[in-house]
Amino acid sequence: MTAITLDGVATASAIKGELADRIAALRSDGVVPGLGTLLVGDDPGSRSYVAGKHRDCAEVGIESIRVDLPSSATTADVKRAIADLNSAREVTGYIIQLPLPAGHNENAMLELIDPAKDADGLHPTNLGRLVLGVDGAMDSPLPCTPAGIVEILRRYDVPMQGRHVVVVGRGLTVGRPLGLLFTRKGIDATVTLTHSRTVDLAAEVRRADIVVAAVGVPHLIKPDWIKPGAAVLDVGITRVHDEETGKGKLTGDIDPAVAAVAGHLSPNPGGVGPMTRAMLLSNVVQAAERRLRSH
Ligand SMILES: Nc1nc(=O)c2c([nH]1)NC[C@@H]1CN(c3ccc(C(=O)N[C@@H](CCC(=O)O)C(=O)O)cc3)C=[N+]21
């Protein structure tokens, strides 16, 4: 047996097709959706992610506005750029690319984003709405990676209700909000949130119907940890040097041999990454639709 591939590229492409119709409708109502990105410094990985977001926007008809600051930017410079993005009419939503270079307080910067323009769903108000909205009724942006994970499971008809989800990693962008999302009414999973101090990780993962690994430890999750037929999602990204090609390549948190045991497996690359990007576009469209309704 080999696992069914949770194809993030194909699923993201279907979502982008659906968004294109909503974007056309917004434009005919006079609202042009625009995504701003704020990038500080010259980390090559961050640069390439930001470039990808602008390509995605162009593909679906979202304008994009790029603000790049040098690594020498002070916190005052970053604050000014955030204030400008908050007031720019053409920016209907934006993100601060994380991580910020050392020396900036990320949480303090996230808190300065206008919650109505928070395309990543990482402003404390929106994270708070995620906590409050246990019934899913709050019209607020969700963090993109958790939203993408639930969306791809839904589209592949992987049952979540009453199932045991083990999340590996408690980070701000994935693990922590994902636990909140999976336990919402209507999704109704049972969640174990594990982290670096978890005593017997293998034993926890063995109980899971759905495993999400988001820690950035290459091939941490081994095949003998997986309940046969479980759905396994690989979120971690580590850049490693490939001896064979001499180039850099991406490695996930899941040992490839897991494919022989799992029922569903998200490849990495090609799984959760493209879904994350599609959910960002979805948040931008949702914010533009809210703006239209509020006028
Ligand atoms: N404010 C903020 N929001 C984010 O959402 C955010 C962030 N900061 N900082 C960095 C992480 C990482 N992240 C990825 C999104 C898509 C891919 C993606 O699409 N990856 C491709 C491969 C790309 C490649 O080959 O380099 C794939 O998985 O197929 C990867 C990584 C979003 N992040």
3 state SS of 155: helix
| Mean pLDDT, all residues of the chain | 97
Atom of ligand 1 nearest to the CA of 272: 28
Atom of ligand 1 nearest to the CA of 280: 5
Residues 121, 144 contacting (CB under 8 angstroms): yes
Q: What is the ipTM of this complex?
A: 0.96
Domain residue ranges of the chain, discontinuous segments joined by +: 30-115, 143-274
Judging by beta carbons within 10 Å of its beta carbon (0-12, 13-18, 19+), is residue 219 exposed, middle or buried? middle
| Ligand 1 atom 11 nearest Cα | 98
Asked if residue 98 has its Cβ within 6 Å of ligand 1, the reply is yes
Q: Dump pLDDT digits (tens) for 227-281.
A: 999 999 999 999 988 888 888 899 999 999 999 999 999 999 999 999 999 999 9
pLDDT score of 18: 97
pLDDT score of 210: 99
Question: Which two tokens mark 125?
Answer: 């108000």
Asked if residue 148 has its Cβ within 6 Å of ligand 1, the reply is no
Same fold for the pair 30-115 and 143-274: yes
| Ligand 1 atom 18 nearest Cα | 273
Please indicate, yes or no, whether the overall pTM of this predicted structure exceeds 0.95. Answer: yes
List the beta bridge partners of residue 251: 238
Domain covering 30-115: architecture: 3-Layer(aba) Sandwich (3.40)
Domain 143-274 part of CATH 3.80.30.20: no
| DSSP E strands, 80-220 | 93-96, 164-168, 190-194, 210-213
Q: Dump pLDDT digits (tens) for 12-42.
A: 999 999 999 999 999 999 999 999 999 999 9
